[in-house]
C-alpha cells in the first residue's frame, strides 16, 4: 500500500471544487493506487457549506480517501501538501473594475504563496485556477521563494479542451482523435488558440488539422473567437460560469503533471516564461509542454506564422500590463 499524499483544494465550498473533489477522490488524477488526504480551504463564512461538502465526501465512500481536513486557516490547509489546486478567488462583482478584481486577488495569492512557502512540501505542484489565473500564479510564486518557480502553473487546459472539442466537431471525428491544439498566452480573451500544429486521425489516417480541414478562414477567425468567448457563452446559457468542465480540466492538468504526457503529444499550461518563442520573461504564459518525471518542458522550434506572432505579442503585452498593475498593488 502506498503512503497517502496530501492534496489541497482552495475555494473548496465553491462550484468548481464540487466537481473537482469527486474527480480527485475517485483516483482520476493521482492514480487508482494512490491514497489521499484532502485538505479543503475556504473562507470563514463558508465553513457551514464546507461541512456539507465534507459530509458528502464521506458519503461517497471513496476507498482512496483516508482523511479530510476542512479549514479556513491557510497554515493548516497547506501543511505538507504535495499538490495544490488554487481554485478559490474573489469573483468579479457587478460594477467592479478589472483593477479592483486584480487587487483583491493579488492579496489572496500573496497570503497563499507565503503559506505554501512555510508549510508545503518543497516539491509541491501548484495549479492556479482562480482568475486572473496567470498573474495570480506569478504573484503566488514570488511569495514562495523556497519552492522552485517551475512548480507554479496556471490553467489553460479548459481552453485547450474547448479548442480540441471544436476542431473534432468541425471535422466530425471523436474528440480523442484530435491532439496538440495549443493555447498560447493568457487565460483571457486575448489567448491564442492555435490548431496549426495539431493533428487528427481521420478514417484511421493521421493528418495535420489545416490539411484535414482545408479551411484557414475558419481556423484563423471563427475558431479563435469561439474558443476565446466560450466561457461567456456558457455563462449566458447556464447563468453560472463553467464548473464541471473547469474541474475536468484541472484534473487533466494535474494528472499529466504527475503521470506524464504521451509520447508525441503536448498539452498547454501557463508556466513561467523563459523567453521561448520571443515571449518576455517573468510572466506566466501558456505554452505547449511535454511532461516526464513530473517535469514539464516547453516544446521547442514550432514554426510561428506572422499571424501567430501578432497573436502571441498581444496576449504577452496584456500579461505584462497585468504584472505591472499587480506589482504596483502589492508595492513591489
Ligand atoms: P465560486 O464562487 O463558486 O467558488 C469560489 C470559492 O472560493 C468560494 O467558496 C469562496 O468562498 C472561495 N474563496 C474566496 N476567497 C478565498 C480565499 N481567500 N481562500 C479560500 N477560498 C476562497 O467560484 P468557481 O465557479 O468555483 O470559480 C473559482 C475561480 O475559478 C474563479 O476565479 C473563476 O473565475 C475561476 N475559473 C477559472 C477557469 C480557468 O480556466 N482558469 C475556468 C473557470 C473558472
Separation of alpha carbons 222 and 267, rounded Å: 22
Q: Is the pLDDT confidence value at 39 over 90?
A: yes
Q: Is the pLDDT confidence value at 305 over 90?
A: yes
Q: What is the pLDDT of residues 230-286, one digit of tens each?
A: 999 999 999 999 999 999 999 999 999 999 999 999 999 999 999 999 999 999 999
| Ligand 1 closest atom vs CA 45 | 11
Which region among 96-110, 166-180, 237-251, 262-276 has the lowest average model confidence (pLDDT)? Answer: 96-110
Q: Is the pLDDT confidence value at 17 over 70?
A: yes
- Give the CA count within 13 Å in the CB-facing half-sphere of 158: 25
pLDDT at 101 (0 to 100): 87
Tell me which H or E stretch contains 40: strand 36-41
130 is in an annotated binding site: yes
Q: What is the average pLDDT value for the chain, to the nearest integer?
A: 96
- Give the CA count within 13 Å in the CB-facing half-sphere of 201: 6
39 catalytic per annotation: no
Q: How confident is residue 332, by pLDDT bands cut at 50, 70 and 90?
A: low
Q: Strands 205-208 and 65-71, how do they pair? A: unpaired
pLDDT at 99 (0 to 100): 82
Cα(258) to ligand 1 centroid in Å equals 23
Q: How confident is residue 173, by pLDDT bands cut at 50, 70 and 90?
A: very high
Measured from the Cβ of residue 305, the count of other Cβ atoms closer than 10 Å reads 11
Quote the cell numbers at residue 259: 503521470
Q: With a 6 A CB cut-off, is 131 part of the ligand 1 pocket?
A: yes
| Ligand 1 closest atom vs CA 13 | 9
Q: Is the dihedral of CA 122, 128, 132, 135 positive or negative?
A: positive
Q: With a 6 A CB cut-off, is 15 part of the ligand 1 pocket?
A: yes
| Overall average pLDDT of the 31-58 stretch | 98
Q: Which of 39, 187, 197, 253 is catalytic?
A: 187
Q: With a 6 A CB cut-off, is 46 part of the ligand 1 pocket?
A: yes
- Residues 187 and 153 sit within 8 Å (Cβ to Cβ): no
Q: With a 6 A CB cut-off, is 284 part of the ligand 1 pocket?
A: no
Domains of the chain by start residue, with CATH: 5-154 (3.40.50.720), 157-322 (3.90.110.10)
pLDDT at 74 (0 to 100): 98
Quote the cell numbers at residue 38: 484532502
CA neighbor of 293 nearest in space, from 259, 269, 252: 259
Cα(227) to ligand 1 centroid in Å equals 21
Cα(61) to ligand 1 centroid in Å equals 26
Q: With a 6 A CB cut-off, is 13 part of the ligand 1 pocket?
A: yes
- Residues 77 and 115 sit within 8 Å (Cβ to Cβ): yes
pLDDT at 297 (0 to 100): 98
C-alpha distance across the termini of the chain, in Å: 46
Residue nearest to atom 15 of ligand 1 (CA): 89
Q: With a 6 A CB cut-off, is 89 part of the ligand 1 pocket?
A: yes
Q: Which of 15, 45, 71, 130 to mutate to test the pocket of ligand 1 (most atoms within 8 A of CB)?
A: 130
Separation of alpha carbons 238 and 259, rounded Å: 33
Amino acid at each position: 500500500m502506498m503512503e497517502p499524499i496530501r492534496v489541497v483544494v482552495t475555494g473548496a465550498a465553491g462550484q468548481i471544487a464540487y466537481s473537482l473533489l469527486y474527480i480527485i477522490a475517485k483516483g482520476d488524477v493521482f492514480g487508482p493506487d494512490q491514497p489521499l488526504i484532502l485538505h479543503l480551504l475556504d473562507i470563514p463564512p463558508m465553513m457551514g457549506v464546507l461541512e456539507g461538502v465534507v459530509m458528502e465526501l464521506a458519503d461517497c465512500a471513496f476507498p482512496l480517501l483516508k482523511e479530510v481536513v476542512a479549514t479556513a486557516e491557510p497554515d493548516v490547509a497547506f501543511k505538507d501538501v504535495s499538490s495544490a489546486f488554487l481554485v478559490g478567488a474573489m469573483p468579479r462583482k457587478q460594477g467592479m473594475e478589472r483593477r479592483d478584481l486584480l487587487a483583491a486577488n493579488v492579496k489572496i495569492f500573496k497570503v497563499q504563496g507565503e503559506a505554501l512557502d512555510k508549510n508545503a512540501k518543497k516539491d509541491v505542484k501548484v495549479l492556479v485556477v482562480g482568475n486572473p489565473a496567470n498573474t495570480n500564479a506569478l504573484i503566488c510564486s514570488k511569495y514562495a521563494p523556497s519552492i522552485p518557480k517551475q512548480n507554479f502553473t496556471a490553467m489553460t487546459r479548459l481552453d485547450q479542451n474547448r479548442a480540441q472539442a471544436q476542431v473534432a466537431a468541425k471535422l466530425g471525428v471523436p474528440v480523442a482523435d484530435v491532439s496538440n491544439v495549443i493555447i498560447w498566452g493568457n487565460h483571457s480573451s486575448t489567448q491564442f488558440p492555435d490548431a496549426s500544429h495539431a493533428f487528427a486521425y481521420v478514417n484511421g489516417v493521421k493528418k495535420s488539422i489545416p490539411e484535414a480541414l482545408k479551411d484557414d478562414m475558419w481556423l484563423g477567425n471563427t475558431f479563435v473567437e469561439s474558443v476565446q468567448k466560450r466561457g461567456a457563452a456558457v455563462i449566458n446559457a447556464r447563468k453560472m460560469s463553467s464548473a464541471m468542465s473547469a474541474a475536468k480540466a484541472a484534473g487533466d492538468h494535474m494528472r499529466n503533471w504527475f503521470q506524464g504526457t504521451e509520447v508525441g503529444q503536448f498539452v498547454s499550461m501557463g508556466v513561467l516564461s523563459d523567453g521561448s518563442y520571443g515571449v518576455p520573461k517573468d510572466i506566466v504564459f501558456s505554452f505547449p509542454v511535454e511532461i516526464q518525471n513530473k517535469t514539464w518542458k516547453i516544446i521547442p522550434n514550432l514554426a510561428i506564422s506572422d499571424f501567430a506572432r501578432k497573436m502571441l505579442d498581444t496576449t504577452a503585452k496584456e500579461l505584462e500590463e497585468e504584472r505591472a498593475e499587480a506589482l504596483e498593488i502589492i508595492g513591489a
